[in-house]
Amino acid sequence: MNGIPGWTIDALALSVLALQVPMALILLARLLPSLRRPAPLPPGIPDSPPLPGSVSVIVPTLNEAERIDPCLQGLHAQGSALREVLVVDSRSQDGTPEKVWAMATRDPRFRLVTDDPLPAGWVGRPWALHYGFLKSDPASEWILGIDADTRPQPGLVERLLETAQNQGFDLITLAPQFILQHWGEGWLQPALLVTLIYRYGAAGDPAAFPERTMANGQCMLVRRSVLECMDGYTVARASFCDDVTLVRQIAAAGFKVGFWDGRHLLKVRMYTSFGETWREWGRSLDLKDATPTPQLWGDVALLVLTQGIPWITVVGLFASAGMGVAFSLTEQLLLGLNLGLIAFRFGLLAGIRGSYQDPPWTFWLSPLADPLAVLRIVLSALSRPRAWRGRTY
């Protein structure tokens, strides 16, 4: 083919095969336990009797006026286990404070708090959460961090408390149900989500080691006593993936943490286009701030070999066959492995369908975005954000 000796192509195929086989086995070993993972938490029961204990909710905000209304309404609908909602605002200029004040006139549990200027060494989100924790009512036994783009469903707080107390968790986070509307986000976002599943398993899978614990800071319930022991959110102060950093530190300290499928309890509309999904979500999904360097690049290698190159490999092999080059035994094995990885990927896509609310048709083509998604993780792992949510670091 184009003057390239057949033995050279065969040697390249053998090299790729030798790298892919062990990574494919690791992937299977990592994801097969997901077949036995717990079912999604059931929907909450509105107006159910309050459980022992009380909850302070902290919502960090910075110019969230366009998307905070569903979050405020969802929290307003929570039952009496919710003691207070502290919206910690970092001097928004778009009308966010006015929306919180309007809700506070309807529900006295809501309170607007303006955080102090960002201290040196802190990232904005963990600072807002830490500031809210310090200002929260000491009588609250639990602290629930909620992001402004989430849509809490009725009974969320009660169901979280029930699960944490019945299962003995000191911290519990939820994987939400995603709302996708634009064709671009419908194509790219599921591919980016799968990079997390390939590395850490599905929500509900227990982590064997603290450094492999997964979390979602969009909804994180933690005992006040645990945060007091950890000096609040200080351990995650400089992290752009502060949720995972905090949870792994708490797990390493010996506390019991859980990551559950909360599709019936929490919905989220994160981004609105391909470009926004690429920029905003993609730059933190490498989780380098929470991950040892050898583990980070080992996981990147797994993504490249099992999610990033199967399509490229298959297309390349068929292109060579189309030019009259017969497949060697090595190339046949390589083709079979990569077709198997692609089939596995489509099966996983069907498995995560319930994590999406009426996704656009491009959702079903998202495996074709896998090479781009993996490229985004690689680019993110090689750099550190300089700007985030309107702040420059």
> Is residue 38 in a domain?
no
In 3D, which of 310, 21, 34 has the Cα closest to residue 175?
34
Q: What's the whole-number mean pLDDT along residues 369-384? A: 95
* Amino acid in the structure at residue 38: P
**Global model pTM greater than 0.85:** yes
In this structure, the dihedral spanned by the alpha carbons of residues 221, 111, 77 and 258, taken in order and rounded to 10 degrees, is 0
- The number of distinct structural domains making up the chain is 2
Range of the domain at 25: 17-33+294-383
Per-residue pLDDT of 278-326, as tens digits, reads: 988 988 899 999 999 999 999 999 999 999 999 999 998 888 776 666 7
CATH code of the domain in which 99 resides: 3.90.550.10
> Is residue 373 in a domain?
yes
Please tell me whether residues 84 and 178 are part of one structural domain: yes
Please tell me whether residues 155 and 225 are part of one structural domain: yes
Task: Round to whole Å and give the CA distance between 67 and 151.
Answer: 10
> Is residue 5 in a domain?
no
Per-residue pLDDT of 147-201, as tens digits, reads: 999 999 999 999 999 999 899 999 999 999 999 999 999 999 999 999 999 999 8
Please tell me whether residues 305 and 266 are part of one structural domain: no
Please tell me whether residues 205 and 334 are part of one structural domain: no
> Is residue 388 in a domain?
no
Please tell me whether residues 318 and 209 are part of one structural domain: no
Please tell me whether residues 113 and 146 are part of one structural domain: yes
Q: How confident is the model at residue 370 (pLDDT cuts 50, 70, 90)?
A: very high
pLDDT of residue 10: 79
Please tell me whether residues 218 and 254 are part of one structural domain: yes
Asked whether 356 and 366 are in contact (CB, 8 A), the reply is no
Please tell me whether residues 220 and 363 are part of one structural domain: no
In this structure, the dihedral spanned by the alpha carbons of residues 42, 44, 49 and 54, taken in order and rounded to 10 degrees, is 100
Please tell me whether residues 199 and 268 are part of one structural domain: yes
> Is residue 46 in a domain?
no
Please tell me whether residues 312 and 184 are part of one structural domain: no
Percent of the chain residues topping a pLDDT of 90: 76
- pLDDT above 80 for 349: yes
